[in-house]
Amino acid sequence: MRKDLLKKAIRFLDLPEDVDPNVPRITVVGRELMLVENVAGIRRCTLEEVVLLTGRDTLQISGENLRVKELGESRALLTGRLSGWGFEA
């Protein structure tokens, strides 16, 4: 209920979606560095796949030699050879 109210307020005020703390913000630098903000936790972590929990979705990152270099209060910094990412249903 609270998430829906926040979503409606953001839409009503015509604010960008990235102000919603339930929406992941993904920054990719080259093919070997990814910063994901608004992370709630890690579901799975292998050298070929990292699955992160966000407020709304589950984000799957694939690649080679993947490592979670930093895991903060609401962010994760990944390194390795990134090959793709997307949201799981």
pLDDT digits (tens, 9 = 90+) for 10-66: 777 777 777 777 788 999 999 999 999 999 999 999 999 999 998 778 999 999 999
Domain 20-88 top-level CATH class: mainly beta
Q: Which helix (H) or strand (E) holds 62?
A: strand 58-71
pLDDT of residue 53: 94
| pTM score over 0.95 | no
Question: Residue ranges per domain, the chain?
Answer: 20-88
pLDDT digits (tens, 9 = 90+) for 67-84: 999 999 899 999 999 999
